[in-house]
Amino acid sequence: MKIEAYRIAVLQEVLDDLQERLRRTRWPGELPHTGWQRGMDHSFMKRLVEYWIEQYDWRAEEARLNQYAHFKAEVDGLGIHFVRQEGKGPSPMPLFMMHGYPWSFTMLLKVLPLLTDPGAHGGDPADAFTVIVPSLIGFGFSDPPPGLGFGFQHHPAVYDKLMTEGLGFARYGLEGGDWGGILTAPYGLLCPQHLIGIHFNCLYQRLCDERAPEEKDPDLLRGLGMKLAPLKPTDPDLLRYWKNSERYWIDEAAYCHVQMTRPQTLAFGLADSPAGLAAWIIEKWRAWSGWGDDFENLFTMDMLLTNVMVYWVSNSFWSAIRIYSESYYHPWELQPGQRIEVPTAIAAYPHEIVPIARKRAEKYYNLVRFTEFSVGGHFAIHERAEEMAEDLRAFFRPLRSQ
C-alpha cells in the first residue's frame, strides 16, 4: 500500500477567488425579528463574512494544521487522507477516530494531546493512544467515493485495510461521533477480529427493522427516516427515544432529506457560494451543540471557518454529502438476530441530536460501559474533550491486554 507524507498547501489563486466571491456576496432579504428561528441568522452571517474577509487568516490556520503529521494512503484506488499522532507511553494503543458531517478532521484535534500524551495532562502514560484521524471518504482531502452504490457500509473495509495492511496494526480501537458513530455498526459487524473495542456517542436510528409484525402492512404511511421505527412503542424509555427521533426528522432534518434525495442540486449552489456553504454548515453547528446563542463561546470564528474552509478549498461538499444519498438509495441495516459483539462503550449526552436509549443500544451492541453525562451535546468530542478522553481511557484500560 502506498502511503506518503501529505502537506496542506492551498493554491493562492483559490484563496484569491474566495475573497472575490465573499466580497460579491448577494444577500437575501429577511423577515424582521426572525433571528435563528428559520435557519441561519442574517446578522450573524453578515458578521461572519466580514470577519472572513477582513480578519480570518487561512495561511496561519494552514500552518497550524500542518504541525500535525499528515499522510495520504492509496487503498484500493482511493486516496485516504489522515493525521497520525504518536502516543507517548510504554505501549500506546492504536485508536482510529472518525468524524461526521458537517465536521472535518479538525474537530478532533482538541482531544488528540489528551489521548496521545495523558501523562502531560494529569493522566497515566500507560493509557496512551497512537491516534489515526482520517478525512472520511469524500470529505476534505480524501478522494470522492468511487461510484454509485458506495454507501456508509462500504467505508469500514477501506479503513480497516489502511489500519491493518497499511499501518500494520493487528488490532485497534474505534471511536466515532455522528457518521463516525453510525459507521461503528457495519464496522463492528464486518471487521470484529481487528477491533479491541468500540466507543461512540451517536446511535443510528435506522439500525434495524424494529416494527412489530402487525406494523408491516405496506399500506401504512411512514415518514422519511422513520420507516423502521415501531408505530407505538410500549416501553416508556423507547417511546421517549422514538419521539425525540420523530421530532428530529420533522423539525431538524430538512438538510438530511435534501442530501439524501437531491444532493447534486444542492451541490451546485454550495460549490459556487462560500457564504451559502458556511450558512448551510454553521447553522447545524449551532443547532446541534445545545449552546444556543452562546455557541460562539464554544466555537470561535476561526474554528468555524477553518472547518468550512476544508470543504471549500477541497471542493468536497458534493462528495461529502454522497454518504447520505448512497446510503439512502443503497441502504444497509442489521438483520434479525445480528448484533455487534465487539466490547462497546457509549458516552451519552443530553443534548445529542437524539439522546441514546440504553435499552436500544444493548440490543444491538455488546455494551460493557454506558456513561451518562449531565451536560454536552453532539460535538462532545470537542466541547467535553477532557471527559471524553477520560471515558476513552477508562473503557480501553482493561481491554489493552487483549
**CA nearest neighbour of 188 among 319, 402, 196:** 196
Single-letter amino acid, residue 281: I
pLDDT at 224: 81
**CA nearest neighbour of 380 among 113, 174, 177:** 177
How sure is the predictor about 402, in pLDDT bands with cuts at 50, 70 and 90? confident
The C-alpha torsion from 172 through 174 and 180 to 184, rounded to 10°, is: 100
Instruction: Give residue-wise pLDDT tens across range 116-174.
Output: 999 999 999 999 999 999 999 999 999 999 999 999 999 999 999 999 999 999 999 99
Average pLDDT over residues 30-43: 92
How far, in Å, CA of 385 to CA of 373, rounded?
13
Strands in 172-176's sheet, in edge-to-edge order, are: 2-6, 70-75, 78-85, 129-134, 93-98, 172-176, 195-200, 340-348, 365-372
| 3 state DSSP class of 397 | helix
User: Above pLDDT 70, what percent of the chain?
Assistant: 100
According to CATH, the topology of domain 67-209+244-399 is Rossmann fold (3.40.50)
321-360 burial string, b = 16+ CB within 10 Å, else e? bbbbbbbbeeeeebeeeeebebbbbbbbbebbbbbbbeeb
**CA nearest neighbour of 155 among 173, 137, 132:** 137
pTM, two decimals, is 0.96
The three cell numbers locating residue 260:
439524501
DSSP state of 399: G
Residue 328: is its pLDDT beyond 80?
yes
Q: Based on the number of CB atoms within 10 Å of its own CB, is 202 exposed (0-12), middle (13-18) or buried (19 or more)?
A: buried
Average pLDDT over residues 10-16: 98
pLDDT at 223: 85
Using left for φ > 0, alpha for ψ between -120 and 50, and beta otherwise, residue 217 falls in: beta
Using left for φ > 0, alpha for ψ between -120 and 50, and beta otherwise, residue 293 falls in: alpha
Average pLDDT over residues 197-217: 92
Pairing mode of beta strands 78-85, 129-134: antiparallel
Ranges of H-type helices in 175-235:
179-190
DSSP string, 239-296: HHHHHHHHHHHHHTTHHHHHHHH-HHHHHHHHHH-HHHHHHHHHHHHHHHHS-GGGHH
Instruction: Give residue-wise pLDDT tens across range 241-257.
Output: 999 999 999 999 999 99
How sure is the predictor about 387, in pLDDT bands with cuts at 50, 70 and 90? very high
How sure is the predictor about 222, in pLDDT bands with cuts at 50, 70 and 90? confident
pLDDT at 304: 98
The three cell numbers locating residue 22:
465573499
Average pLDDT over residues 371-400: 96
The three cell numbers locating residue 354:
437524539
How sure is the predictor about 386, in pLDDT bands with cuts at 50, 70 and 90? very high
Instruction: Give residue-wise pLDDT tens across range 98-126.
Output: 999 999 999 999 999 999 999 999 999 99
